Structure 1
Amino acid sequence: MRAFAILSALAALSSAVAVPPVPSKASAYGDLTNGERLARGLPLKAPARRTKAARDGAASPVPSYTAKGHLLVRDAGDNSVIGYASQSGSTANLINPDLDDALTVSVTLPVGATGGSQLNLAQVDSSEPFTSFGLVQAKASTTTDIFTGSFNYLYFSFTNDTPAGSTPQQPGNGASDLFETTLSSESAVWTIDIVSGTAFPIWINSDGVAATTQLFAQSNRMLAGGDVDAYRAKFPIQGVCETDYFDLGSCRVRSKFSSGGLL
């Protein structure tokens, strides 16, 4: 089992900057007072009606841009490349060595920002019918919470969106459909820095407190939990750490996010 880090190949590929409307040309007499208008034989101005929105001031849209790329998984020990988060995997997402089969994700940020926390990663090209790539409660977990001393764990999987900062929700996800049961998930779990190329998820427990979220892999599955040793004791695997990509054995792994281009 390996602890892993996720790198992103997020690059600012598209932008959606809100542009203010161009004001129409004012009338030649639009700035005249009613006294000046009377002196010129012009009709008086109609009284202005102020709506509540006008009184309070309408909020301006925040300009934003979208960065798009892949999730690259590296070994936590020696930083070697393991592979990419795969397009497939309705429960525990698979690590795939081929870029052609890598999942494409995107994140939307305010113009000028290069990262943030409690962000959604929208899935772009998977056949899964869910909007985002996040964390989902594992079927074997006893509760939605992860913590030291507990074997409870989470899948990296496809899920519909949940609000930033929310506790585990049930918006629909791939694992729930596959197992025909109700499993909780969170999508807005990602802390991302495009400049350094790092991205990692932080799960929020049912009490609203952010949990220490350890990342690891078993076989070629990406997983997360609160205590890797407790998980390993509950679900032991045979063999030793292997260098072959699809045979991760009992190594630990960490994950990172690569910026500016494909790694």
Structure 2
Amino acid sequence: MDPQCAATSEDINPQAPAMNHRTPRSPLSSPSVPPRLCQTSLEASPSTHSPTVFTTLLTKMRFATLFSIATLFASFHTTFADTPTIEELIEISGVATGPSEFNEEGYRNLAALKAAAHIPTPTTPETRSEAGVMGRMTNAERLANGLPLKSPARRRRPRTPLNRLEARVQASPGPSQTNSGRLALRDASGQRVGYVMNTLLNNAQLGTTTDVSKALRVSVTFDSLLSNPSQLQVTLLNSNVVGYPLLALIQGRDNTNQDLSAGSFHYVYSGGAAEPGSGPGSTGIAGQNTYTAVSRIAQTDVWTFDRSTFGLTPAWINSNGDAKTFSLYTQSTAIYGLVDPAAFSGRYPSPLSGPYTYYIELDVASAP
């Protein structure tokens, strides 16, 4: 297999609703990068299962309409004596094949295979995350959402004296300020081309919509003395996936490592992550994001907010600690962060449009 076409593992919520992406094209779906077809072949991942077995199962999955679910499950259990890995299920589901990175049919196949394998879905930390979202809200935001005001915070004296020298050299932050609004995409001319949708594709990655009523609402809190505060966390206010309240960059399913660079098709999703997040300057944490069940890296404290344009700019932290900036592109309605869109199109030749950037269409109450 061509190493440029090799697939790695990824997991998607098996209970996610099917979504139809065969919709009329909007400005978000016009091609801007010439595609190149990536030729792939099916090979078994490193395991005890033969390529013949994988080929047979993939053929059955491609003609799933000819098989009942019971027949598919029976065939699955005949093939695998032991519980398969996610990598094996990805390989035979066909998720990593096709002209688009987001393969709706492949994800349906993967969900059926996961059900057959009785692979559990990790528990979502609902209570902690819901409390975290409400805890980040200002009193004005709480009133707007019908919530009671915050209780007065009690200040406790530290048990040990503070290091006075350290206190002198540290810069004192200014008062915090929170802005909230709809997360949108705009092009290089500054024109809005659509909103980010509050329903994640397959409960995993962010996509686009032109329907303002379906727009994702976010909030960002920053030092009011800074004009371009960075290394910020952004909170998702109305996402359909409970338990992952932080806007995150997530390592792409087919990436061979966690780095973004020119000449590579590697990409990142936008999705959700659990609190407390990865931390400023971190190279990321595995798990506890909307691609929870596999070892995909997520980063949360990666956002810079331009207070004059309300732009929200991400920077992915490579494994060597370098921050890599990139632009946003869309393929169908899925959003991707790309350093090299031509290389990405070589791997996934469906029409790609962009570049775009995120910005927050501020609520009137939070506008400066």
TM-score, normalized by length of structure 1?
Answer: 0.69
Count, aligned residues: 211
Report 1:123-142 matches (<5 A): 123-128=236-241, 129-142=243-256
Does residue 1:84 correspond to 2:190, yes or no?
Answer: no
Whether the 8 Å contact between 2:327 and 2:357 is mirrored in structure 1 is no
Does residue 1:163 correspond to 2:279, yes or no?
Answer: yes
Give the secondary structure class of the aligned counterpart of 2:255: coil
Counterpart Cα distance in 2 of 1:110 and 1:203: 22
Give the secondary structure class of the aligned counterpart of 2:344: helix
Aligned position for 2:353: 251
Counterpart Cα distance in 1 of 2:314 and 2:335: 12
Change (3 A) 1:131 1:214: same
Counterpart Cα distance in 2 of 1:20 and 1:162: 26
Give the secondary structure class of the aligned counterpart of 1:229: helix
Report 1:29-44 matches (<5 A): none
Name the Cα RMSD after superposition: 3.4
Counterpart Cα distance in 2 of 1:55 and 1:141: 45
Whether the 8 Å contact between 1:2 and 1:75 is mirrored in structure 2 is no
Counterpart Cα distance in 2 of 1:55 and 1:192: 32
AA paired with 1:167?
Answer: T
Counterpart Cα distance in 2 of 1:218 and 1:206: 27
Aligned position for 1:53: 161
Aligned position for 1:71: 183
Change (3 A) 1:189 1:2: farther
AA paired with 1:63?
Answer: P
Does residue 1:143 correspond to 2:234, yes or no?
Answer: no
Aligned position for 2:216: 103
Counterpart Cα distance in 2 of 1:195 and 1:104: 19
Higher RCO by CA contacts (8 Å cutoff, separation 6 or greater): 1
Gaps of 5+ in 2: 1-30, 34-137, 143-148
Whether the 8 Å contact between 2:312 and 2:358 is mirrored in structure 1 is yes
Aligned position for 2:94: none
Deviation by residue 1:169-205 (Cα, 9 ceiling, x = unmatched): 12511123xxx32211101111111222211111010
Change (3 A) 1:235 1:54: closer
Counterpart Cα distance in 1 of 2:335 and 2:352: 13
Counterpart Cα distance in 1 of 2:32 and 2:212: 21
Gaps of 5+ in 1: 4-11, 22-50, 238-248
Counterpart Cα distance in 2 of 1:186 and 1:55: 32
Structure with greater strand percent: 1
Give the secondary structure class of the aligned counterpart of 2:343: helix
AA paired with 2:229?
Answer: G
Aligned position for 1:37: none
**209, 226, 232: which one aligns with 2:339:** 226
AA paired with 1:127?
Answer: N
Structure with greater helix percent: 2
**300, 303, 306: which one aligns with 1:190:** 303
Whether the 8 Å contact between 1:84 and 1:99 is mirrored in structure 2 is yes
Does residue 1:94 correspond to 2:207, yes or no?
Answer: yes
Whether the 8 Å contact between 2:287 and 2:294 is mirrored in structure 1 is no
Whether the 8 Å contact between 1:150 and 1:227 is mirrored in structure 2 is yes
Change (3 A) 1:62 1:116: closer
Whether the 8 Å contact between 1:120 and 1:190 is mirrored in structure 2 is yes
Whether the 8 Å contact between 2:184 and 2:361 is mirrored in structure 1 is no
